[in-house]
């Protein structure tokens, strides 16, 4: 199904690159591009560059954000306005501006689906929600294997209804945004110690092939997820420090900086829960950041850009899974080959 036991996770925001996808293939893993936040034109260019880099011999995938309901009820709008006022103070401090929030909040979804139907890639995965059955069918007819990201058994069953070929089962220890799309009491997947346990629970309710993700920092953790029933495992944070990752140096260095001692799930940067290293911004804003994605993402974009330019990691979204300490700065090919050797 995946041609490999190991997948280089899609990581939007610049971390996933053509170089990372091709390095993954050269190690015998499956690489992914991340379409999130990119224009459809950029995605088309990355697909073309990846095909050229792979010379047609290896496979790769493209991950797409599924847009959700972006309308805000009066309470959420008020919470967003209050957060905007807090962020104005942040922005003044670093000479940035807050916002603006664009008219269009769908991440160019229709154009991206059209591109992937017209110019298909071997694998398409979705996160933040479910692609409608019609979209899943179109992509499958075009020749793609379609994956949905889920965080609970309930989400797995809902995804199965849409006709997808496989599921990425993401444990809450994962770095970056949670893929959760159904309301769950507390953090999705809570109650399962790790990706292996969550995979075992989901495998009991569906026969779809599963990819285990979240908190896989060592080959032993990968093996546990495979033994629990996953057909492959997906590594995110473990690849962020590699030279092929397009993450900022500030982010890469923070992952190796002993002054960071924990990660937390926060809405402070984007309005959607995401796991990051705990820095000043996370400490100061997690308590009052509203649930308003992608509005908060756009409100904080200028602050994050100014922080990056000023070398201030304290105001950046330092996405990291709980196993971040295992992330190494070695070439991606070596990191992935090191895992594969032991699986
Ligand atoms: C920097 C970063 C960006 C990410 N961006 C995406 C994304 O665009 N789409 C997606 O489905 N998952 C995204 N994720 C989640 C990964 O695909 C994967 O599920 C997660 O990294 C696995 O957990 P780990 O970080 O503990 O390995 C991102 C993760 C990180 C660390």
What is the best residue among 8, 9, 112, 237 to mutate for testing ligand 1's pocket, by most ligand atoms within 8 Å of CB? 9
The residue among 3, 7, 1 whose CA lies nearest residue 225 is 7
Ligand 1 neighbours, Cβ below 6 Å, are 9-13, 15, 34, 36, 63, 127, 149, 170, 173-176, 179, 213-216, 234-238, 240, 319, 321, 323
**For the CA of 125, the nearest atom of ligand 1:** 11
- Alpha carbon separation from 197 to 71, 201, 219, 227, 231 (Å, rounded): 35, 6, 16, 10, 14
Span 199-227, average pLDDT: 98
- Separation between Cα atoms, residue 306 and residue 218, nearest integer Å: 34
Q: In the 8-state DSSP scheme, what is residue 193?
A: S
pLDDT score recorded for residue 185: 55
Tens digits of residue pLDDT in 143-190: 999 999 999 999 999 999 999 999 999 999 999 999 999 987 545 556
Q: Could you read off the pLDDT of 64-111 as tens digits, one per residue?
A: 999 999 999 999 999 999 999 999 999 998 999 998 999 999 999 999
Q: What is the pLDDT of residue 240?
A: 99
Whether pLDDT at 120 is above 60: yes
Place of tokens 């091709």: 22
User: Looking at domain 6-70+105-247+327-342, does it have CATH number 3.20.20.140?
Assistant: no
The arithmetic mean of pLDDT across residues 334-342, rounded, is 98
Q: How confident is the model at residue 191, as a pLDDT?
A: 85
Closest to 12 in 3D by CA, of 289, 325, 236, 217: 236
Distance 9 CA to ligand 1 centre (A): 6
Can you tell me the distance from the alpha carbon of 30 to that of 63, in angstroms, rounded to the nearest whole number?
A: 13
CB-count exposure of residue 75 (10 Å: 0-12, 13-18, 19+)? exposed
173, 236, 265, best to mutate for ligand 1 pocket (most atoms within 8 Å of CB): 236
pLDDT interval class at 217 (50, 70, 90): very high
Look at residues 125, 116, 130 and name the one whose alpha carbon lies nearest to residue 30: 125
Q: What is the pLDDT of residues 231-285, one digit of tens each?
A: 999 999 999 999 999 999 999 999 999 999 999 999 999 999 999 999 999 999 9
Q: Whose CA is nearest to atom 22 of ligand 1?
A: 214
Centre of ligand 1 to C-alpha 308, Å, is 20
Neighbours of 212 (CB within 10 A): 32
pLDDT value at residue 281: 98
Burial class for 320, CB neighbours closer than 10 Å (0-12, 13-18, 19+): buried
Q: Ligand 1 pocket test: which of 129, 167, 174, 178 has the largest number of ligand atoms within 8 Å of its C-beta?
A: 174
The first and second tokens of residue 71, run together, are 């309308």
Which ligand 1 atom minimizes the distance to the CA of 127? 11
Pairing mode, if any, of strands 123-127 and 145-150? parallel
Instruction: Using the atom order of ligand 1, give the atom closest to the CA of residue 179.
Output: 11
In b/e form, how buried is each residue of 8-40, taking b as 16+ CB within 10 angstroms?
bbbbbbebbbbbbbbbbbbbbbbbbbbbbebeb
* Residue 150 Cα to ligand 1 middle (Å): 13
pLDDT score, position 188: 53
Strand ranges for 152-310 from DSSP E: 166-170, 176-177, 210-213, 232-235, 263-266, 274-277
User: Looking at beta carbons, which pairs linking 140-148 to residues 24 or more positions away fall under 8 Å?
Assistant: 140/165, 142/116, 142/117, 142/118, 144/116, 144/120, 145/1, 147/61, 147/123, 147/211
Rounded to the nearest 10°, the torsion over CA 42, 45, 47, 51 is -160
Token pair of 88, please? 């104005």
Centre of ligand 1 to C-alpha 175, Å, is 6
Looking at residue 189, its pLDDT comes to 54
Most informative mutation of 175, 211, 232 for ligand 1 (most atoms within 8 A of CB):
175
Q: For residue 33, how far is its CA from the centre of ligand 1 (angstroms)? A: 11
Q: What is the pLDDT of residues 23-76, one digit of tens each?
A: 999 999 999 999 999 999 999 999 999 999 998 777 999 999 999 999 999 999
Mean pLDDT of the chain, nearest integer? 96
Distance 254 CA to ligand 1 centre (A): 17
Tokens for 132? Answer: 């409608």
* Domain locations in the chain as residue ranges: 6-70+105-247+327-342, 71-104+261-317
Q: Chain-centre distance of CA 156, in angstroms? A: 17
> Residues 6 or more apart from 72 whose CB is under 8 A from it?
80, 292, 295
Spatial separation of the C-alpha atoms in residues 269 and 296, rounded to whole Å: 6
In this structure, which residue's CA is closest to atom 4 in ligand 1? 11
Cα 93 to averaged position of ligand 1 atoms, centre (Å)? 30
Separation CA 328–CA 339 (nearest Å)? 12
Select from 11, 167, 212, 322 the residue to mutate for testing ligand 1; criterion: most ligand atoms less than 8 Å from CB: 11
Q: Which residue from 138, 142, 162 is spatially nearest to 150, judged by alpha carbons?
A: 162
């Amino acid at each position: 199904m995946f041609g490999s036991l190991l997948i280089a996770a899609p990581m939007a925001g610049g971390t996933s690159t053509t170089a990372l996808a091709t390095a993954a293939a050269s190690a015998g893993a499956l690489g992914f591009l991340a379409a999130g936040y990119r224009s459809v034109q950029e995605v088309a260019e990355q697909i073309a560059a990846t095909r050229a880099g792979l010379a047609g011999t290896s496979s790769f995938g493209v991950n797409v954000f599924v847009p959700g309901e972006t309308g805000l009820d009066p309470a959420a709008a008020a919470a967003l306005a209050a957060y905007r006022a807090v962020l104005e103070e942040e922005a003044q401090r670093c000479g940035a501006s807050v916002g603006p929030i664009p008219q269009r909040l769908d991440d160019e979804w229709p154009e991206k689906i059209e591109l992937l139907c017209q110019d298909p890639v071997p694998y398409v995965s979705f996160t933040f929600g479910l692609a409608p059955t019609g979209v899943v069918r179109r992509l499958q007819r075009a020749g793609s294997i379609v994956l949905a990201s889920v965080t609970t058994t309930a989400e797995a069953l809902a995804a199965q209804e849409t006709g997808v070929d496989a599921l990425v089962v993401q444990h809450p220890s994962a770095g970056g945004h949670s893929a959760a799309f159904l309301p769950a009491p507390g953090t999705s997947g809570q109650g399962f110690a790790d990706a292996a346990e969550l995979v075992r629970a989901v495998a009991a309710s569906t026969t779809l092939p599963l990819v285990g993700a979240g908190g896989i920092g060592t080959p032993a953790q990968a093996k546990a997820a495979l033994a629990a029933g996953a057909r492959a495992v997906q590594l995110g944070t473990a690849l962020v420090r590699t030279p092929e990752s397009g993450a900022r140096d500030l982010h890469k260095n923070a992952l190796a900086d002993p002054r960071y001692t924990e990660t937390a799930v926060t809405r402070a940067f984007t309005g959607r829960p995401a796991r990051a290293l705990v820095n000043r911004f996370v400490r100061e804003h997690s308590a009052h950041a509203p649930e308003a994605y992608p509005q908060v993402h756009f409100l904080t974009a200028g602050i994050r850009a100014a922080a990056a330019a000023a070398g201030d990691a304290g105001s950046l979204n330092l996405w990291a899974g709980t196993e971040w300490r295992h992330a190494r700065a070695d070439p991606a090919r070596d990191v992935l080959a090191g895992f594969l050797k032991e699986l």
